[in-house]
Amino acid sequence: MKIFLLIIVILTFLVLLRLILLSFRRSPQPAIANRVSDSDWASGGLSTMEMPRRVNTSGRLSGKVALVTGAGSGIGRAIAIAFAEQGARVALVGRRKLPLDAVAAEIGENAIAIPGDMSKKEDIERVVRETVAHFGHLHVLVNNAAALVAGTAESHSEAEWDETFDTNVKGLWLLSRAALPHMRKAGKGSIVNIGSVVGLVGAKNRVAYCGSKGAVTIMTKAMALDHAHEQIRVNCIAPGIVDTELVAKFVNNAPDPEAMRKQRVALHPLGRFGQPEDIAHAAVYLASDESAWVTGIALPVDGGYTAV
């Protein structure tokens, strides 16, 4: 009899234990503060807090229209091609028509060549009108056109000073001013200014160029603050010495070109000049929605030049 009762007690205990375990399994999980479901994250449907949306990295500029100045060669050409490869339609702007036409032919139907002088107000306003007339929108502006004349405060002529600042500073301002209403209409936009490391740290025998690129750096920050509330981002890339036609001309005109090249390369801890594509990669990032929370920066892409 005792054995029978013991068996009944054990079975009752096991049944109760199983019921307790089942009740724990069925209990709802405690809420986690600010928990975000996969569907909310993907759709961006978050009412209480803003979270970054997942970014589709194929066709990173798909659906965007970009205007790139100085697009016939060097950094501008590389940026225009990289933008097109990532799905953007691109207006190629520069003083020389033939190089622009060559880049447009290389890109294909998603590019249009628009010759213009970025130191002249009437040309600036015209290229923006033609871009919007052809593509319907304007989302991205790359201010890349630049003038570089070597000199000191004493050696520069007034004409050299004016040429440098008219293109590098006044032209950037006028073109940005012309583009902003179209970005505002689109609901957001990105302006990428091509500055220089010498706009951050200075250099010998480049006083006008350094002054103009320093202005580009601080204008970038001021414009970023002015237009952040409109979701128009403004950033600056500060390249080191990049292997372009302009740099080649300066090196080749030196008394000892090989020595000049070695001396300039030595300024970069990574041991080489930059390539136009190095700058283009950064421009794609700043033009894309991947950098949606980035504005007002001066990004050195310089092989370590400014780290020394």
Catalytic residues: 209
Q: Which structure tokens are listed for 64?
A: 């965007």
Q: How many CB atoms lie within 10 A of CB 114?
A: 22
- Nearest Cα to 194, choosing from 74, 62, 63, 60? 74
Contact 160, 168 (CB under 8 A): no
Q: Which structure tokens are listed for 42?
A: 């993907």
DSSP per residue, 276-297: HHHHHHHHHHHHSGGGTT--S-
Contact 138, 183 (CB under 8 A): yes
Q: Which structure tokens are listed for 74?
A: 């060097």
Q: Which structure tokens are listed for 172?
A: 């950037």
If DSSP codes are grouped into helix, strand and coil, which group holds residue 300?
strand
Contact 127, 182 (CB under 8 A): no
Contact 203, 263 (CB under 8 A): no
Distance CA 119, CA 175 (A): 10
Q: Which structure tokens are listed for 154?
A: 């004493």
The set of residues, in sequence order, having a beta carbon less than 8 Å from that of 184 and lying 6+ positions away, is 230, 232
Q: Which structure tokens are listed for 67?
A: 């205007």
Strands 111-115 and 189-194: unpaired
